Structure 1
Amino acid sequence: MKLALRLLLALCLVAPVLGHAQSTSEEEEAGDVSEVDKDRLGPLRERVRPVSGHLFLKKGRFEFSPSATLSLRDAFFSKYIFGGTLTYHPLETLGVSLRLGYAVNAVAGAAQICTFGDSGAGDTRGCGSPTLNQLDGQAPGQLKLLGGADVQWAPIYGKLSLLAEKFVSFDLYGIAGASVVQYRGPELSTPTGAKNYLTGGGNVGVGARFFFNRWVTLRTEVRDLIYVEKSRTTDSYLRNQLLFELGVSFFFLNGSES
């Protein structure tokens, strides 16, 4: 009887060691099974799913995008440009677009106009915010109409994780093209007159699209508009105008499934 009890006790002590050795041997043969099971069964496996491929395809599709644009860092006029862009995408990363916009001008908050007293020791000078009539045609940067043709190149496509549960697809693109600009400037034949001028120019910039679904995106762009203006002091000079654009794009046709 005592011998049987001793044998039973010995088996109880040896069994865990044998079980551990067998488990270790199986893990060595199959890899780190415990970590694989942890990833497969853990809560993050259900919340974060693998992401691959393009949710949104642009190749062979037209994109129509109404937009609103705001000028940045303008000394005289704050410009609000309302218009739209029509783009055709012959390739997934390449687009060719036409754009048109109408500009509404307001006096910039930083604009000042100063008056001087008679010359002499008692000269006084006062400065204040000008009216739109005072600046009309006399200050640079008074845009009226914008048009142009651009080329878009979108080499970057990605996805953003929102709270580890939902993904938003986006692409980043560069843009460059030629522009036609109508602006209001001084009538050089008179001391105070103003008239509309038409001139050529170009623009370069960067943009991004955030895809709501296969048909609608939110689009943002920052562009530098470069064109030539006339002035009373010089025949013409080069101007740079930084523009921020926000629009919603609607895509037509099914696009390539390749």
Structure 2
Amino acid sequence: MTARRARSSVLALVALAALAAAAPRAALAQTKADAFAGKIPPVSGQLYRKAGRFELTATGDLSLNDAFYSKYFGGLKLGYHLTEAWSVSAQGALGATARTGSAVVCPKNSGCVDANDAMLLQVPGKLRRIVGAEIAWAPVYGKLNVFAEKVAHFDLSILAGADLISHDEVLGPTDAAALAASGKDPALVSTVGGHVGLGARLFLKEWLALRLEVKDYVYGVEVPNNGAGKDWQNQIFTELGLSVFLPFGNRPLP
């Protein structure tokens, strides 16, 4: 009987020691959890929905890769979201084109010189306006914790479309020299091209979002200095936009 009591006492002491050791850990875990209590409410599902809504975007575009001309465009884009992932849109943009500080020409038999007006009339890239249609696929919708205070909602998309691109006619040396001397502008030429790109959308409110897109426009240009055939151009633009969704609230779920 005495041995049994001693064994029971030992087991009781072991249980009390285990509880005493676990208590600080539980308190510490609760303290760590309390540090984030009330900071960010749990978020599940897609808070900002696009399906069945129009999106009107004011855009600003800047060219990135043209050694002769910098393009500064402004435009509007109107899109409709068929589903949360798929959308179609139409866009128009126009603006100003200016020669870059690195616009130089390097003839075969002499050194490089700054391009004059007659030389610039012989190179492509002086765009005037772009009108096009686009389809977009946004397979990614994500959320980010911002300084443990807010949740930022965003999506990522892949873009592709067809465009009508208007640009100044590219001239041969003789015609370019004559036109530069006259002070007149070259004729406006339009050609069909296309683009592909990547886009991101950061939601500010249920009806408002920021957009960032990078697009590569591809189109053919007749360049007399290159002989017969078209010279294929790649014009890369970065586009920043502010979008308004219509209607202002999410469509009800089916």
TM-score in same-fold range (> 0.5) = yes
Partner AA of 2:16 in structure 1: H
Structure 2 vs 1, CA of residues 128 and 237 (structure 1 numbering), >3 Å: closer, same or farther?
closer
Query: Structure 1 CA distance, aligned partners of 2:62 and 2:144?
Result: 27
Alignment root-mean-square deviation, CA: 3.1
Task: Tell me what 1:149 maps to.
Answer: 133
Contact 2:127 2:166 in 1 (8 A): yes
Q: 1:241 to 1:35 in 2, by over 3 A?
A: farther
Determine whether 1:239 maps to 2:222: no
TM-score norm. by structure 1 comes to 0.79
Residue type of the alignment partner of 1:228: G
The structure number with the bigger radius of gyration is 1
Q: Aligned to 1:58, what secondary structure does the other structure show?
A: coil
User: Are residues 127 and 211 of structure 1, via their aligned partners in 2, closer, same or farther at CA, if it must alter by over 3 Å?
Assistant: same
C-alpha deviation, 1:84, in angstroms: 1.1
Residue 189 (structure 1) shift: 11
Q: Can you list the C-alpha shifts for 1:59-91, whole angstroms capped at 9, x where unaligned?
A: 111001011100002111000111110000011
Does the C-alpha gap of structure 1 residues 14 and 187 become closer, same or farther in structure 2, counting only changes over 3 Å? closer
CA distance in 1, matches of 2:148, 2:125: 46
Q: 1:186 matched to which residue of 2?
A: 170
Task: Kindly provide the amino acid, as one letter, of the partner of residue 256 in structure 1.
Answer: R
Equivalent residue for 1:229, pick from 206, 210, 221: 221
Unaligned runs of 5+ in 2: 1-5, 180-185
Among 214, 218, 243, the alignment partner of 1:249 is 243
Pairing 1:1-258 to 2, within 5 Å after superposition: 17=13, 20=16, 23=19, 34=26, 38=30, 42-113=34-105, 127-130=112-115, 133-134=117-118, 137-187=121-171, 191-192=175-176, 193=179, 194-232=186-224, 233-253=227-247, 254-258=249-253
| Corresponding residue pairs, total | 232
In the alignment, is the contact (CA less than 8 A) between 2:161 and 2:194 conserved in 1?
Answer: yes
Closer, same or farther: CA 21–39 of 1 in aligned 2, 3 Å: same
Q: CA deviation at 1:39?
A: 7.1
Q: CA deviation at 1:22?
A: 8.1
Distance in 1 between the 2:95 and 2:72 partners?
6
Percent of residue pairs bearing the same amino acid type = 35
Give the superposition deviation at 1:47.
2.4
Q: Structure 1, residues 6-28: CA drift from partner, whole Å, max 9, x if none?
A: xxxx9xx979826626849xx8x
CA distance in 2, matches of 1:130, 1:137: 10
Q: TM-score, normalised by structure 2?
A: 0.80
In structure 1, give the amino acid aligned to 2:154.
F
- Structure 1: distance between partners of 2:107 and 2:127: 26
Q: Which runs of 4+ in 1 moved over 3 A?
A: 13-16, 21-24, 113-116, 125-131, 133-137, 187-190
- Determine the C-alpha separation between the residues in 2 that align with 1:160 and 1:22: 40
Distance 1:103 1:19, change over 3 A: same
Match of 2:183 in 1: none
What 5-or-longer segments of structure 1 have no aligned partner? 1-9, 28-32, 117-122
How much does 1:45 deviate?
3.2
